[in-house]
Structure 1
Amino acid sequence: MSFKNKIVLITGASSGIGAAAAISFAKEGANVALVGRNEQKLQKVKEECAKTGNVPFVVRADVSNDQDVMRIIEETIEKFGKINVLVNNAGMIGFDGILSDNIMSMFDSIMKTNLRAAVYMTHLAAPHLIKSKGNIINISSIAGKKTSKIRPMVSYTASKAALDHFTRNVAAELAPHGVRVNSISPGPVKTDILINAGVNSSMVDIEKMLPLGRISDSQEIADLILFLASDKAKAITGSDYVSDNGAMLL
Structure 2
Amino acid sequence: MDHDKGLDADGHFVREGSLDRVQPEFAGLVDAARAAIVETYGPDRLHSGYLYGSVPRGTARPGRSDLDLLLALHRPPTAADRADADRTAARLDAAHPEVDGVGVLLFDTATLLSEPERYDLGWFLACLCTPLLGPDLAADLPRYRPSSLLARETNGDYPLHLVRWRGGQGTVRGICRVTVRSAFTLVMPRWGGWTSDLLRSAEIAGSYYPERAEQLRTVALAALDPVPDESARRLVTEELGPWLAAEYTAVHGTKAPRP
TM bracket, shorter-chain basis: 0.3 to 0.5
Structure with bigger helix share is 2
**TM-score, structure 2 as length reference:** 0.33
**TM-score, structure 1 as length reference:** 0.33
Larger Rg: 2
